[in-house]
Amino acid sequence: MRSKVAQMNRSLNQPNMMNNKKINKGGRKPKKDRANFRYTVNLTEIENAKFMALFRQSQAKGISKFISAMIFGREMKVVKIDKATVDYFMRLTGFYSQFQAVGVNYNQAVKALKTNFSEKRALVLLRQLEKATFELVTINKKVIELTVEFERKHLIYNS
């Protein structure tokens, strides 16, 4: 009886001669560099709040990765997102797209003036369009000045 059980166990561990395959025992593959050592640290409420704030700012995938990176001096990136800056640039992008649309409409208006009106009437309307264009240029210069000032105050020196 014993010999049959031992024979069955040996046959499970050996490759199947008919299929030339090993029988899969299942389980997950072992890691090459497994972390076996654990340490405990006790923090006060204030220390824990600071720790969690740093962890959230680092955007690390896990607390253990964050701690090991901080201990061994790996570079940690802290990204602060200023909602006012994001909002400003979103509005600036919207303004830029509107400015492009005005340029396209300007070209279409000039073509329509040339084809649909007499030369005198077209010149009068073109002068009015030219005045509006100069106003648009001054507004654009003011936007550029405000953007440069905003970057100087909030982005370049606060980084």
Neighbouring-strand partners of residue 21: 16
Neighbouring-strand partners of residue 16: 21
C-beta atoms surrounding 148 within 10 Å: 10
Rounded CA-CA distance 125/79 in Å is 52
Each domain of the chain, given as residue ranges in start order, spans 43-80, 83-156
pLDDT for residue 45: 94
Distance of CA 98 to the CA centre of its chain: 25
**3-state SS, residue 48:** helix
Q: Are 63 and 41 in contact (CB under 8 A)?
A: no
pLDDT for residue 44: 93
pLDDT along the chain (159 residues), means of 10: 56 54 74 83 91 84 83 69 79 81 82 85 86 85 83 64
Rounded CA-CA distance 4/12 in Å is 12
pTM, full prediction: 0.41
Q: Are 15 and 24 in contact (CB under 8 A)?
A: no
Rounded CA-CA distance 57/76 in Å is 10
pLDDT for residue 15: 53
pLDDT for residue 98: 81
pLDDT for residue 159: 47
pLDDT for residue 115: 86
The Cβ-side half-sphere exposure at 31, using a 13 Å CA radius, reads 4
Q: What is the DSSP string of 75-125?
A: --------HHHHHHHHHHHHHHHHHHHHHHHHHHHHHHHHHHS-HHHHHHH
